[in-house]
Structure 1
């Protein structure tokens, strides 16, 4: 059969949103890592779906309330009960391996709690079958028995099943036009345009391929480089029914003219800084480009200033990930920039902690070939500078989370500290760090100084639920104004920038934070900016997009 002639020279539209899914749920770090995915599925997804089937009206009311939108409530308007029941039944059937894994952890916890200091070797035959060969038993220095996962083996186990991975592509005309990412499953695309859910996703295309599929690089390269959509559909294995919808995701109009795009290096001796929203910052000189915590918007018409995928350089030499929270390491963005990234630098951990999955393994599983782990004060040398991993304090609920790092970047004559959501609860640390890296020209900080309780992310993994008072007191917060000022003064920063902390509309589906001018984080951020300006420092709250050059 002769293949029909097609026209080449098509670009993936800038308003095409991409949702990576795992078993119909929005993909984030803890759904990519096999161990945490098992707990999230059993202790969160199944429970939410069961609750929705029992009380859809309650979920609809809670999801419509900004104060509770980011809670465990399916945002389906009280409809789609039969479809949720079908997904619930399918998940129960498929998740047998995950169910056994979670149950085995409970059995092993009970076994280890009985140990008071005696040898652990005799326990290995009693390790539940689902964990046999996957754990090492050990004591901590307080003689409390615990287990350590051989995490890389889990990626070779049946627990790591990529068959549930897919990507949903759809054109939308505004930011935040989707349910809260982590509490609503994405039901299969409905072909009937008269159906309420089908209308919301009219034109959606699902790519039933694992995240590491190389053809995705061709797809997302088409944001700025022309492709033939029909050849790409062949490469992605799309059936005949999806091909017409797939072609509608492309246009013959290039996303930017060459003069508008950021694909040229800064002039020699210059450093260019571009803010893409939230905590995402690009730093470039004439030789190196560094992108921190990539979370990027799409090209939707809006009053909010923005720079999107089309504004990235053709080559990103280094991507720096500060920590594993979903607004700082986002598979949705990472998969779309994979084709242009050289090295991804991630904070390493001691390995094997259930609540602290290896970011290196997660990012490798997303298809990145060069992922480098760093620990405190590790240095990555650059042609005209260096990247130094700096300890990340706070924001992690006093849990033993090691996969976190801030970064000191020296590029040419410029120094910058990307502080992410660090909480300056241990000021003496920064005395020692300053002794090693010196003063900092640009300081970037998040100031969500209230934060979510420990249970918001980590509840599925606790062997015993936290006492409510303890849960509320152990919030994942960043620095207050006074704590941030202490950092500013210790590093003698000449310019201080506060991240938007989720205020941009494209962050709403990820964070769901209903900020007002009276919110504590906003008040503290304003006070920091005002105080820094009074001290003669340049300071501002970033929002949306900004670009500037430093000679």
Structure 2
């Protein structure tokens, strides 16, 4: 690419998408955590591929319908059946340990079902082989027997094989071009799986990825990167095409750039992703970052992040709030990742700390309710996250109260204010706030949409529909606003940005209940003299 004796100075293009894959499927938290990954592969991936091989036309029709696009339907247009069949057979062969693990859970459930208080110690020899040494048997306070996983041990065994991980790089000229992330495998490039795509057969934790993604804003030698990533000769021409000699646009500090304590800049990157900077510290919440695709939608992309992000805050484990695709691309500039702590060992509630550590982050800190992270000129306080998790025992969730530059923020994520007494107590501790951020997806998915593979038996349909993972309604959200006397209220875009469509597939219209509820909240707040708006795409402003 360059003359002999010269140094190559090229940049990874801003429109290069980087999809992390596990066994050819899009990587999300439950596909990185070993226990949940076993259930997802056995109870979802295998079943979807079997169904596609039997009836590709049915899948094509369902995937083309916005109302069913995010369901269990492969979006391959009814084609490539032979390739899906080949992946199905290969997955069956590789998934032996996972199938044994899932079957062992069913056996253990049956073993524990009849235990109502008698000693559990005699049962250990009867624990199925696939779970032996990986579980602790215990009772809850109602004398119901259950098991707890030694989760860190799972990362050392066959269920966490890094050879199944890879990264798929491809240029794209628009948002939302990808199929729905969780329903369609990415078939191998060698078999026609994507023109111009390059696959890096490296584990997610590989430090070489930091050098690759640093090249988005700092010049690098593509050939040297290809050497470090062990790219084969056939992939190198496509890899070089992912780079350009043209530098990315300069980072727009501009108006509102914090120059010292007492001034705070806020940057909204879309969905629930917000960056706070006060001159001493930078804090990024729930990173989901857009690529530099041509679009009429305003955006802030990877090029708009500062060179150093002191803290990344994760609110909960849903795939639109903790995204390996974004996390891997910013790892080289992140100091500490703050995650909500779980009780540990619950199948449906994998440890976010272990997941993020498995993604190669060296400094991951767990927080629980009212834990405080001290800052040079403020603090981060973990605040209870109410609702949105289908009444399940999910502990890895938190909202955050931030104190920066003398101002205060409540990052409310998708909390559903179904228990106002919680926020009454929290307000007694933290007082009023200046800014409030809230999601209002108040018509969430049923419990089975995410957690169905882990249920010991299917949930009754009425119960499934009744236990939706929803955020606050306008009245519930207004109660939070008034309780904390928020001067400025911002409602997330809730997946409307086009780069969220492959992750959420939400076909919102102006008649959609969540959008109507968001509008009611905004108008109610404005009528009270508060600044309120529903965010969309990008916004950057500052306090002084």
TM bucket normalised to smaller: over 0.9
Query: Match for 2:316 among 317, 323, 327?
Result: 323
Which residue number in structure 2 is paired with residue 343 of structure 1?
A: 336
Alpha-carbon distance change, 142 to 246 in structure 1, aligned in 2, over 3 angstroms: same
Tell me, what secondary structure is at the counterpart of 1:517?
coil
Matched, 1:361 2:354: yes
CA contact (8 A) 1:60 1:75 kept: yes
Deviation at 1:241, TM superposition (A): 0.3
Which residue number in structure 1 is paired with residue 148 of structure 2?
A: 148
State the Cα deviation string for residues 366-414 of structure 1 (Å, max 9, x = none): 0000000000000000000000000000000000000000000000111
CA contact (8 A) 2:251 2:306 kept: no
For 1:4 and 1:133, the matched residues in 2 are separated by: 58
Which residue number in structure 1 is paired with residue 99 of structure 2?
A: 99
CA contact (8 A) 2:257 2:265 kept: no
Deviation at 1:266, TM superposition (A): 3.8
Which residue number in structure 2 is paired with residue 409 of structure 1?
A: 402
**1:128-527 alignment to 2 at 5 Å?**
128-190=128-190, 198=193, 201-257=194-250, 265-527=258-520
Deviation at 1:262, TM superposition (A): 10
State the Cα deviation string for residues 158-180 of structure 1 (Å, max 9, x = none): 11111100000000000010100
For 2:4 and 2:413, the matched residues in 1 are separated by: 52
Deviation at 1:257, TM superposition (A): 2.7
Which residue number in structure 1 is paired with residue 87 of structure 2?
A: 87
Matched, 1:35 2:35: yes
Tell me, what secondary structure is at the counterpart of 1:372?
strand
CA contact (8 A) 2:251 2:305 kept: no
CA contact (8 A) 1:262 1:311 kept: no
CA contact (8 A) 2:317 2:397 kept: yes
Deviation at 1:116, TM superposition (A): 1.6
Please, which runs of 5 or more residues in structure 1 have no aligned partner?
192-196
For 2:391 and 2:19, the matched residues in 1 are separated by: 31
For 1:361 and 1:164, the matched residues in 2 are separated by: 18
Deviation at 1:157, TM superposition (A): 1.2
Tell me, what secondary structure is at the counterpart of 1:178?
coil
State the Cα deviation string for residues 128-179 of structure 1 (Å, max 9, x = none): 0000000000000000000000000000111111110000000000001010
For 1:369 and 1:322, the matched residues in 2 are separated by: 19
State the Cα deviation string for residues 84-115 of structure 1 (Å, max 9, x = none): 00000000000000010000000000000011
For 2:251 and 2:213, the matched residues in 1 are separated by: 18
Which residue number in structure 1 is paired with residue 46 of structure 2?
A: 46
CA contact (8 A) 1:263 1:313 kept: no
CA contact (8 A) 2:251 2:303 kept: no
Alpha-carbon distance change, 153 to 486 in structure 1, aligned in 2, over 3 angstroms: same
For 1:399 and 1:55, the matched residues in 2 are separated by: 34
Deviation at 1:273, TM superposition (A): 0.1
Please, which runs of 5 or more residues in structure 2 have no aligned partner?
none
State the Cα deviation string for residues 222-249 of structure 1 (Å, max 9, x = none): 0100000000000000000000100000
Deviation at 1:263, TM superposition (A): 12
**1:52-71 alignment to 2 at 5 Å?**
52-71=52-71
For 1:265 and 1:446, the matched residues in 2 are separated by: 27
For 2:320 and 2:389, the matched residues in 1 are separated by: 14
CA contact (8 A) 2:12 2:242 kept: yes
Tell me, what secondary structure is at the counterpart of 2:48?
helix
Which residue number in structure 2 is paired with residue 74 of structure 1?
A: 74
